[in-house]
Amino acid sequence: MGKVVRKIRPTNYWQIGEHESWFSDMSLQGLHLHKMGTNLAHFKKGEPKRIEYRIEVTGKKLITYEQIDLYEENGWEYVTSYQWFHVFSSPTEKKAPEIHTDPAEQAFTLQRLYKKLVFNLVWVSLGVALILGMLLAMWFLDGTPVLRLVEGYVVQQSTITILYIYYVINAVKAMLAIKELKKSLNEGKAINHHAPWKKSLRKNGILSVVFIGIILVCGLIMPFYQLKKMDTFTLPKNDENLPFVRLADIEQNPQLNRDEYYTDEFGWANRYTTNWSIFAPVQFETDEMWLEESGTYSPSVSSEIYNLTFQAFAKPLLSDLMEWHTYGDERESFIERKHPVFDHLVTREDEEWKQLVASKGKVVMYIRYYGYADLDVVVENAAQKIVLLAER
């Protein structure tokens, strides 16, 4: 035998009859089972011939040499093991006697496996419940699920958690399948060693492609792409092309100079950060702080900008931004206003503090300004910038 051929298994690992049938049909094509992996079976190419396969179940992942020797004396050669399943083969013409002639006796061999599956299911379920609880807290504890969605940090973790849940569902199916098989054997019904498997192969193949795709996209491509797009820059002193409101536009005061707080040549007091997510491909977060020459006045402006994939997220994101920036308190102090540029505009003013949350099309903008300038000045500057973003 020579070249190794790998194939996706047609069914779940606990479907004994379908696996035995598949191995036999592969041997007729000259593919003889060599090894079983988690999702792939390894076959060695050889002469096509009919070979019978039988799967023995034990409570351990290793089978004893004594048991192997016993079966070989009866014409069954040990091939490989996967999980708690151990595969033996025998050429059809050899007419080796069945490993198990009494279904009730074979049912007894499944008892330890069934208990192990129940034990594993309990612990895995507890672990997944803990992960799910933490994930739900990340989504809903602050009452800002849409903001969490568009920021993108929780999306990958949610997708991976769905895969964990699928694993639990699969563990339940395995436990129930072994229980049903045990019951069937106890009723005297032997395993069908030539059970049909082609329908299961199509279903398993599609599921494998879907899950591999999800893992590649959500587990590898999206996080790396997000890291690539995430960056922080020192704000240039003058750049009218930047799509966010600048402090100089609001204040219009030559006595003001930016707060030069630098570390490693980076201006932490005057910076902007870019980010990306699948639901908000363009994101900016800015902070800017200036000082008056007298040292008694220090205005500042911060903003968050999201250019969304879907406009339907705009209004709920407005609500979440109000919730997030008031910590759930006093959000009723935001006042809805009409403005010819914005689709939605709400503002809040508390002495020198002014806040604005607005949207136009797919663009959502939040601004927090501290200073003496009038709120309408902030609104008009925001209107100019949001038009630039919406037309991009």
pLDDT tens digits for the chain (392 residues)?
Answer: 568 999 888 878 888 999 999 999 999 999 999 998 877 899 999 999 999 999 998 877 788 889 899 999 999 999 999 888 999 999 999 899 998 888 888 888 888 888 888 998 999 899 999 999 998 998 888 889 999 999 988 877 888 788 888 888 888 988 998 999 989 999 989 899 999 988 887 887 787 788 778 778 877 788 888 888 899 888 887 766 788 899 988 988 888 887 776 666 677 788 999 999 999 999 999 999 988 877 788 999 999 999 999 999 999 999 999 999 987 667 788 999 999 999 999 999 988 999 999 999 999 999 999 999 999 999 999 999 999 888 76
How would you class 119 by CB atoms within 10 Å of its CB: exposed for 0-12, middle for 13-18, buried for 19 or more?
exposed
Tell me the CA distances in angstroms from 103 to 109, 110, 188, 273, one per residue in order.
10, 11, 5, 67
Asked if residues 233 and 265 have their Cβ atoms less than 8 Å apart, the reply is: no
Give the 3-state secondary structure of residue 355: strand
Place of tokens 């406009």: 311
Tell me the two tokens of residue 371: 């200073």
Q: What is the CA radius of gyration of the chain?
A: 32
Of 372, 336, 340, 371, nearest to 356 by C-alpha is 336
Longest dimension (CA), the chain: 102
